[in-house]
Chains A and B, each alone.
Chain A
Amino acid sequence: MVTVLYEQSQTNCATARAAGEDLWIGTHELESATGWSMKPQGLCRGDVCVPAPVGQAGDYVAGDAVNAAAFWRRMGNPVVHDGAREVWVLGTSAGHRGASLQSLEAPDFALPDLAGVTHTLSEHRGKKVLLATWASW
Protein backbone atom coordinates (compact mmCIF):
# COMPACT_ATOMS: atom_id res chain seq x y z
CA MET A 1 0.00 0.00 0.00
CA VAL A 2 1.33 3.42 -0.98
CA THR A 3 0.80 6.39 1.34
CA VAL A 4 0.57 9.80 -0.31
CA LEU A 5 1.40 12.91 1.71
CA TYR A 6 0.01 16.06 0.17
CA GLU A 7 -0.22 19.42 1.93
CA GLN A 8 -1.68 18.47 5.33
CA SER A 9 -3.36 15.25 4.23
CA GLN A 10 -2.20 11.66 4.33
CA THR A 11 -3.97 9.12 2.13
CA ASN A 12 -3.46 5.39 1.66
CA CYS A 13 -3.88 4.69 -2.04
CA ALA A 14 -4.87 1.12 -2.86
CA THR A 15 -4.61 1.72 -6.59
CA ALA A 16 -1.15 3.28 -6.49
CA ARG A 17 1.75 1.53 -8.20
CA ALA A 18 5.27 2.88 -7.82
CA ALA A 19 8.01 2.14 -10.33
CA GLY A 20 11.31 3.98 -10.34
CA GLU A 21 10.44 7.66 -10.15
CA ASP A 22 6.90 7.10 -11.42
CA LEU A 23 3.82 6.89 -9.23
CA TRP A 24 0.69 5.72 -10.99
CA ILE A 25 -2.58 6.31 -9.14
CA GLY A 26 -6.20 5.75 -10.14
CA THR A 27 -7.76 9.06 -11.09
CA HIS A 28 -10.49 8.88 -8.44
CA GLU A 29 -8.00 8.10 -5.72
CA LEU A 30 -5.65 10.88 -6.82
CA GLU A 31 -8.54 13.30 -6.64
CA SER A 32 -9.45 12.26 -3.10
CA ALA A 33 -5.79 12.44 -2.04
CA THR A 34 -4.97 15.81 -3.62
CA GLY A 35 -8.05 17.47 -5.12
CA TRP A 36 -6.48 17.23 -8.61
CA SER A 37 -8.73 15.50 -11.15
CA MET A 38 -8.21 14.20 -14.68
CA LYS A 39 -10.19 15.98 -17.40
CA PRO A 40 -9.94 15.92 -21.22
CA GLN A 41 -7.75 19.05 -21.09
CA GLY A 42 -5.34 17.64 -18.50
CA LEU A 43 -4.87 17.33 -14.76
CA CYS A 44 -7.00 20.05 -13.20
CA ARG A 45 -7.73 21.74 -9.96
CA GLY A 46 -10.04 24.75 -9.90
CA ASP A 47 -9.31 26.85 -12.96
CA VAL A 48 -5.85 25.40 -13.47
CA CYS A 49 -5.30 22.56 -15.95
CA VAL A 50 -1.97 21.00 -16.80
CA PRO A 51 -1.92 19.00 -20.05
CA ALA A 52 0.46 16.11 -20.62
CA PRO A 53 3.27 17.13 -23.00
CA VAL A 54 2.43 16.58 -26.65
CA GLY A 55 3.63 13.19 -27.83
CA GLN A 56 4.36 11.95 -24.29
CA ALA A 57 0.82 11.37 -23.05
CA GLY A 58 1.58 7.71 -22.43
CA ASP A 59 4.12 8.69 -19.75
CA TYR A 60 1.43 10.66 -17.92
CA VAL A 61 -1.90 8.92 -18.44
CA ALA A 62 -2.72 5.26 -18.99
CA GLY A 63 -6.35 4.24 -19.00
CA ASP A 64 -7.81 5.18 -15.64
CA ALA A 65 -4.42 5.83 -14.03
CA VAL A 66 -2.34 9.00 -13.82
CA ASN A 67 1.40 9.26 -13.27
CA ALA A 68 1.07 11.68 -10.37
CA ALA A 69 4.84 12.00 -9.89
CA ALA A 70 5.34 12.96 -13.54
CA PHE A 71 2.57 15.54 -13.43
CA TRP A 72 3.91 16.93 -10.14
CA ARG A 73 7.42 17.35 -11.53
CA ARG A 74 5.97 18.90 -14.70
CA MET A 75 4.28 21.49 -12.46
CA GLY A 76 7.63 22.24 -10.82
CA ASN A 77 6.62 20.61 -7.55
CA PRO A 78 9.04 18.52 -5.50
CA VAL A 79 8.40 14.76 -5.30
CA VAL A 80 10.22 12.66 -2.72
CA HIS A 81 9.73 9.09 -1.55
CA ASP A 82 11.17 6.61 0.91
CA GLY A 83 13.53 3.81 -0.10
CA ALA A 84 10.75 1.24 -0.34
CA ARG A 85 8.63 3.63 -2.46
CA GLU A 86 5.78 3.12 -0.01
CA VAL A 87 5.54 6.75 1.11
CA TRP A 88 5.46 9.59 -1.41
CA VAL A 89 5.36 13.30 -0.72
CA LEU A 90 3.66 15.23 -3.51
CA GLY A 91 5.09 18.61 -2.54
CA THR A 92 4.32 22.19 -3.49
CA SER A 93 6.63 24.39 -5.52
CA ALA A 94 8.41 27.48 -4.28
CA GLY A 95 6.69 29.42 -7.05
CA HIS A 96 3.26 28.50 -5.76
CA ARG A 97 4.18 29.27 -2.14
CA GLY A 98 5.82 32.54 -3.15
CA ALA A 99 2.85 33.67 -5.24
CA SER A 100 0.56 32.88 -2.35
CA LEU A 101 2.64 35.04 0.00
CA GLN A 102 2.90 37.86 -2.54
CA SER A 103 -0.89 38.01 -2.77
CA LEU A 104 -0.69 38.99 0.94
CA GLU A 105 -3.74 36.79 1.57
CA ALA A 106 -2.53 34.98 4.68
CA PRO A 107 -2.28 31.29 3.72
CA ASP A 108 -4.97 29.35 5.60
CA PHE A 109 -4.31 26.14 7.47
CA ALA A 110 -6.05 23.74 9.83
CA LEU A 111 -4.15 22.39 12.83
CA PRO A 112 -5.11 20.63 16.06
CA ASP A 113 -4.64 21.88 19.58
CA LEU A 114 -3.50 19.50 22.34
CA ALA A 115 -7.08 18.34 22.89
CA GLY A 116 -7.28 17.32 19.24
CA VAL A 117 -9.67 20.13 18.31
CA THR A 118 -8.96 21.48 14.84
CA HIS A 119 -8.56 25.23 14.42
CA THR A 120 -8.19 27.21 11.22
CA LEU A 121 -6.60 30.58 10.71
CA SER A 122 -9.62 31.77 8.73
CA GLU A 123 -12.00 31.22 11.67
CA HIS A 124 -10.46 34.39 13.12
CA ARG A 125 -11.39 36.54 10.11
CA GLY A 126 -12.69 39.85 11.43
CA LYS A 127 -9.99 40.04 14.11
CA LYS A 128 -6.39 41.08 14.06
CA VAL A 129 -4.25 37.96 14.38
CA LEU A 130 -0.74 37.69 15.73
CA LEU A 131 0.35 34.35 14.26
CA ALA A 132 3.42 33.30 16.21
CA THR A 133 5.59 30.21 16.21
CA TRP A 134 7.44 28.61 19.08
CA ALA A 135 9.00 25.26 19.93
CA SER A 136 10.23 23.25 22.89
CA TRP A 137 13.64 22.69 21.33
Chain B
Amino acid sequence: MWQSLYAAHKDQGFVVVTVAMDVPEAARPWIDAAKPTYPCLIDGNHHVAELYNMVNVPQATWIDEKGHIVRPPENAGSSDAFRRMDRVTKQMTPEQVADRERTKKTYIAAVRDWVLKGAASEFAYDAAAARARLFLPDAGIAEAHAHFRLAQHLLGRGKRDEAVEHFSQASRLHPDSWCIWRQAAQKDASGLAAGPEFWARVDALGDRPYHRPIDMKGI
Protein backbone atom coordinates (compact mmCIF):
# COMPACT_ATOMS: atom_id res chain seq x y z
CA MET B 1 0.00 0.00 0.00
CA TRP B 2 2.86 2.40 0.85
CA GLN B 3 5.64 1.34 -1.51
CA SER B 4 4.98 3.82 -4.32
CA LEU B 5 4.61 6.70 -1.84
CA TYR B 6 7.86 5.72 -0.14
CA ALA B 7 9.73 5.21 -3.42
CA ALA B 8 8.62 8.63 -4.69
CA HIS B 9 9.76 10.53 -1.59
CA LYS B 10 12.49 8.52 0.13
CA ASP B 11 15.13 10.94 -1.08
CA GLN B 12 13.22 13.85 0.42
CA GLY B 13 13.74 12.94 4.05
CA PHE B 14 10.75 10.64 4.30
CA VAL B 15 10.42 7.07 5.48
CA VAL B 16 7.54 4.67 5.96
CA VAL B 17 7.80 2.33 8.92
CA THR B 18 5.16 -0.36 9.01
CA VAL B 19 4.35 -2.45 12.03
CA ALA B 20 2.51 -5.74 11.60
CA MET B 21 0.16 -6.48 14.49
CA ASP B 22 0.92 -10.10 13.84
CA VAL B 23 3.17 -13.04 14.53
CA PRO B 24 6.00 -13.49 11.99
CA GLU B 25 4.55 -16.58 10.30
CA ALA B 26 1.30 -14.75 9.50
CA ALA B 27 2.99 -11.58 8.26
CA ARG B 28 5.68 -13.28 6.15
CA PRO B 29 3.66 -14.21 3.02
CA TRP B 30 2.32 -10.67 2.71
CA ILE B 31 5.73 -9.05 3.08
CA ASP B 32 7.34 -11.59 0.72
CA ALA B 33 4.69 -10.82 -1.90
CA ALA B 34 4.83 -7.02 -1.61
CA LYS B 35 8.65 -6.79 -1.36
CA PRO B 36 8.59 -3.37 0.28
CA THR B 37 11.90 -1.53 0.64
CA TYR B 38 10.93 0.36 3.81
CA PRO B 39 11.24 -1.24 7.26
CA CYS B 40 8.53 -3.82 7.95
CA LEU B 41 8.51 -4.60 11.65
CA ILE B 42 6.76 -7.43 13.43
CA ASP B 43 4.87 -6.76 16.65
CA GLY B 44 3.20 -9.92 17.92
CA ASN B 45 2.58 -8.34 21.32
CA HIS B 46 0.91 -5.25 19.81
CA HIS B 47 3.34 -3.09 21.75
CA VAL B 48 2.97 -0.20 19.30
CA ALA B 49 -0.83 -0.39 19.59
CA GLU B 50 -0.40 -0.04 23.35
CA LEU B 51 2.11 2.83 23.11
CA TYR B 52 0.01 4.78 20.60
CA ASN B 53 -3.43 3.62 21.77
CA MET B 54 -4.29 2.20 18.37
CA VAL B 55 -7.35 0.01 17.95
CA ASN B 56 -7.45 -1.19 14.37
CA VAL B 57 -5.47 -1.53 11.16
CA PRO B 58 -4.52 0.36 9.18
CA GLN B 59 -3.84 3.20 11.57
CA ALA B 60 -0.98 5.65 11.24
CA THR B 61 0.64 8.60 12.90
CA TRP B 62 2.86 11.28 11.37
CA ILE B 63 6.13 12.00 13.14
CA ASP B 64 8.29 14.94 12.16
CA GLU B 65 12.08 15.23 11.92
CA LYS B 66 12.36 16.03 15.64
CA GLY B 67 10.39 12.97 16.66
CA HIS B 68 7.22 14.93 17.41
CA ILE B 69 3.76 13.68 16.58
CA VAL B 70 2.14 16.08 14.11
CA ARG B 71 -0.88 13.92 13.31
CA PRO B 72 -1.98 11.61 16.11
CA PRO B 73 -2.82 7.99 15.38
CA GLU B 74 -5.84 7.73 13.11
CA ASN B 75 -7.35 5.55 10.44
CA ALA B 76 -4.83 5.53 7.58
CA GLY B 77 -7.15 5.88 4.63
CA SER B 78 -9.68 3.08 5.04
CA SER B 79 -13.41 3.56 4.71
CA ASP B 80 -16.37 1.63 6.08
CA ALA B 81 -17.61 0.85 2.55
CA PHE B 82 -16.79 -2.85 3.10
CA ARG B 83 -19.64 -3.08 5.61
CA ARG B 84 -22.12 -2.85 2.77
CA MET B 85 -20.52 -5.52 0.57
CA ASP B 86 -22.38 -8.62 -0.53
CA ARG B 87 -21.32 -11.01 2.21
CA VAL B 88 -21.76 -14.11 0.07
CA THR B 89 -19.90 -12.98 -3.03
CA LYS B 90 -17.64 -10.51 -1.11
CA GLN B 91 -18.39 -8.05 -3.92
CA MET B 92 -18.85 -4.32 -3.48
CA THR B 93 -20.85 -2.10 -5.79
CA PRO B 94 -18.90 0.30 -8.04
CA GLU B 95 -20.05 3.15 -5.79
CA GLN B 96 -18.67 1.40 -2.71
CA VAL B 97 -15.37 0.68 -4.45
CA ALA B 98 -15.18 4.32 -5.55
CA ASP B 99 -15.83 5.48 -1.98
CA ARG B 100 -13.03 3.25 -0.70
CA GLU B 101 -10.56 4.40 -3.35
CA ARG B 102 -11.38 8.08 -2.86
CA THR B 103 -10.71 7.84 0.88
CA LYS B 104 -7.38 6.11 0.32
CA LYS B 105 -6.27 8.55 -2.38
CA THR B 106 -7.21 11.58 -0.31
CA TYR B 107 -5.25 10.27 2.67
CA ILE B 108 -2.16 9.49 0.60
CA ALA B 109 -2.30 12.90 -1.07
CA ALA B 110 -2.34 14.47 2.39
CA VAL B 111 0.76 12.51 3.43
CA ARG B 112 2.46 13.70 0.23
CA ASP B 113 1.51 17.30 0.96
CA TRP B 114 3.10 17.02 4.43
CA VAL B 115 6.25 15.41 3.03
CA LEU B 116 6.69 18.31 0.64
CA LYS B 117 5.57 21.23 2.86
CA GLY B 118 6.35 20.06 6.40
CA ALA B 119 4.77 22.13 9.15
CA ALA B 120 3.29 24.45 6.50
CA SER B 121 1.07 21.61 5.29
CA GLU B 122 -2.56 22.14 6.20
CA PHE B 123 -2.63 18.48 7.24
CA ALA B 124 0.12 18.75 9.87
CA TYR B 125 -1.17 19.97 13.24
CA ASP B 126 0.49 22.33 15.66
CA ALA B 127 1.00 21.01 19.18
CA ALA B 128 -2.33 22.21 20.60
CA ALA B 129 -4.32 20.84 17.68
CA ALA B 130 -2.43 17.54 17.77
CA ARG B 131 -3.06 17.16 21.51
CA ALA B 132 -6.74 17.89 21.03
CA ARG B 133 -6.96 15.00 18.57
CA LEU B 134 -5.25 12.37 20.71
CA PHE B 135 -7.20 9.39 21.94
CA LEU B 136 -5.94 8.64 25.44
CA PRO B 137 -6.17 5.22 27.06
CA ASP B 138 -8.12 4.49 30.24
CA ALA B 139 -7.36 1.99 33.00
CA GLY B 140 -9.35 -0.74 31.26
CA ILE B 141 -7.29 -0.35 28.10
CA ALA B 142 -4.02 -0.53 30.04
CA GLU B 143 -5.16 -3.71 31.79
CA ALA B 144 -6.40 -5.14 28.50
CA HIS B 145 -2.92 -4.83 27.01
CA ALA B 146 -1.45 -6.63 30.03
CA HIS B 147 -3.89 -9.52 29.49
CA PHE B 148 -3.13 -9.54 25.77
CA ARG B 149 0.59 -9.71 26.43
CA LEU B 150 0.07 -12.63 28.80
CA ALA B 151 -2.23 -14.37 26.32
CA GLN B 152 0.27 -14.14 23.46
CA HIS B 153 2.99 -15.48 25.75
CA LEU B 154 0.83 -18.43 26.83
CA LEU B 155 -0.27 -19.13 23.25
CA GLY B 156 3.35 -19.25 22.16
CA ARG B 157 3.93 -21.95 24.77
CA GLY B 158 1.01 -24.10 23.68
CA LYS B 159 -1.31 -23.08 26.51
CA ARG B 160 -4.20 -22.28 24.21
CA ASP B 161 -7.09 -22.64 26.67
CA GLU B 162 -5.54 -20.34 29.21
CA ALA B 163 -4.51 -17.91 26.46
CA VAL B 164 -8.10 -17.73 25.25
CA GLU B 165 -9.22 -16.73 28.75
CA HIS B 166 -6.84 -13.79 28.75
CA PHE B 167 -7.68 -12.80 25.16
CA SER B 168 -11.32 -12.71 26.28
CA GLN B 169 -10.46 -10.58 29.29
CA ALA B 170 -8.53 -8.22 27.02
CA SER B 171 -11.44 -7.84 24.60
CA ARG B 172 -13.91 -7.38 27.46
CA LEU B 173 -11.75 -4.60 28.95
CA HIS B 174 -11.05 -2.97 25.57
CA PRO B 175 -14.06 -3.69 23.34
CA ASP B 176 -13.09 -0.98 20.84
CA SER B 177 -9.89 -2.79 19.89
CA TRP B 178 -10.32 -4.74 16.69
CA CYS B 179 -6.58 -5.51 16.86
CA ILE B 180 -7.07 -7.51 20.04
CA TRP B 181 -10.29 -9.18 18.95
CA ARG B 182 -9.20 -10.16 15.44
CA GLN B 183 -5.75 -11.33 16.50
CA ALA B 184 -7.41 -13.73 18.91
CA ALA B 185 -10.34 -14.73 16.70
CA GLN B 186 -10.67 -17.87 14.60
CA LYS B 187 -9.22 -17.32 11.12
CA ASP B 188 -10.54 -18.73 7.86
CA ALA B 189 -8.43 -20.63 5.32
CA SER B 190 -6.96 -17.40 4.00
CA GLY B 191 -5.99 -16.20 7.48
CA LEU B 192 -8.81 -13.70 7.85
CA ALA B 193 -10.92 -13.29 10.96
CA ALA B 194 -13.91 -12.49 8.74
CA GLY B 195 -16.43 -15.19 9.57
CA PRO B 196 -19.94 -14.89 11.03
CA GLU B 197 -18.57 -13.79 14.43
CA PHE B 198 -16.72 -10.91 12.79
CA TRP B 199 -19.77 -9.75 10.89
CA ALA B 200 -21.95 -10.06 13.98
CA ARG B 201 -19.50 -7.86 15.85
CA VAL B 202 -19.41 -5.36 12.97
CA ASP B 203 -23.22 -5.29 12.83
CA ALA B 204 -23.34 -4.71 16.58
CA LEU B 205 -21.55 -1.42 15.96
CA GLY B 206 -24.79 -0.04 14.56
CA ASP B 207 -24.16 3.59 13.70
CA ARG B 208 -20.66 3.55 15.16
CA PRO B 209 -17.74 3.27 12.71
CA TYR B 210 -15.45 0.29 12.23
CA HIS B 211 -12.73 2.61 10.89
CA ARG B 212 -13.07 5.92 12.71
CA PRO B 213 -13.67 8.59 10.05
CA ILE B 214 -10.60 10.66 9.21
CA ASP B 215 -10.83 14.33 10.11
CA MET B 216 -9.45 15.56 6.79
CA LYS B 217 -10.63 17.84 4.04
CA GLY B 218 -11.98 15.77 1.14
CA ILE B 219 -12.96 12.76 3.23
Chain A positions near chain B (C-beta within 8 angstroms):
3, 5, 7-8, 10, 76-83, 87, 89, 91-94, 97-98, 100-102, 104-107, 109, 111-114, 119, 121-122, 124-137
- Given contacts A128-B65, A130-B60, A135-B22, whether A97 and B142 have CB atoms under 8 Å apart is yes
Tell whether, in the assembled complex, residue A128 and residue B13 are in contact, meaning their CB atoms are under 8 Å apart. yes
Q: Nearest residue in A to B141 (C-beta to C-beta)?
A: A94
Cα-based distance from A40 to B46 in the complex (angstroms): 36
| B149 near A89: Cβ-Cβ < 8 Å | yes
Minimal Cβ-Cβ distance residue in B for A122: B67
Chain A residues near B118 (CB-CB < 8 A): 128
User: Is B210 close to A, CB under 8 A?
Assistant: no
CA distance A107 to B137 in the complex (A): 14
- Distance in Å from the Cβ of B192 to the closest Cβ of chain A? 6
Is A102 in contact with B183, judged by CB distance below 8 angstroms? no
B193 within 8 A of A: yes
* A109 pairs with B76, CB closer than 8 A: no
Chain B residues with CB under 8 Å of A93's CB are 139, 142
Given contacts A111-B48, A137-B185, contact A87 B153 (CB under 8 A): yes
Q: How far is the CA of A46 from the CA of B76 in the complex (A)?
A: 36
CB-defined contacts of A81 to chain B, threshold 8 Å: 150
Given known contacts A128-B64, A132-B59, A91 and B145 CB-to-CB distance under 8 angstroms: yes
Known: A126-B65, A128-B13. A94 touches B19 (CB 8 A): no
State the total of A-B contacts with C-beta under 8 angstroms: 213
> CB of B85 within 8 A of chain A?
no
Please report the C-alpha to C-alpha distance between residue A132 and residue B150 in the assembled complex, in whole angstroms.
24
Residues from chain A with Cβ under 8 Å of B24 in the complex: 114
A131 touches B47 (CB 8 A): no
Taking a contact as CB atoms under 8 Å apart, the answer to whether B143 and A132 are in contact is no
Q: How large is the interface on B (under 10, 10 to 19, 20 to 34, 35 or more residues)?
A: 35 or more
Inter-chain CA distance A10–B47, complex, in Å, is 13
> Looking at the complex, which one of A97, A121, A131, A134 makes contact with B137 (CB distance below 8 Å)?
A97
Select which of B31, B66, B138, B154 is within 8 A of A114 by beta carbon. B31
On chain A, the residues within 8 Å of B13 by CB distance are 126-128
Contacts A93-B139, A97-B51, A114-B31 known; A133 to B153 CB distance under 8 Å? Answer: no
Query: In the assembly, what is the distance between CA of A80 and CA of B147, in Å?
Result: 7
B81 at the interface (CB under 8 A from A): no
Q: Which residue of A lies closest to B55 (CB)?
A: A133
The 7 closest A-B pairs by CB, nearest first: A91-B146, A132-B60, A111-B41, A98-B136, A78-B143, A107-B51, A94-B142
Chain A binder among B90-98, B126-134, B201-209? B126-134
Q: What residues of B have a CB within 8 angstroms of the CB of A89 in the complex?
A: 146-147, 149-150
> What are 14 residue pairs bridging A and B, where the CB atoms are less than 8 Å apart in the complex?
A76-B139, A78-B143, A80-B150, A89-B147, A93-B142, A97-B50, A97-B53, A106-B63, A114-B27, A128-B62, A128-B114, A133-B21, A134-B18, A134-B30
Check B164 for interface membership: any CB of A closer than 8 A.
Answer: no
What is the distance, in angstroms, from A71's C-beta to the closest C-beta of chain B? 15
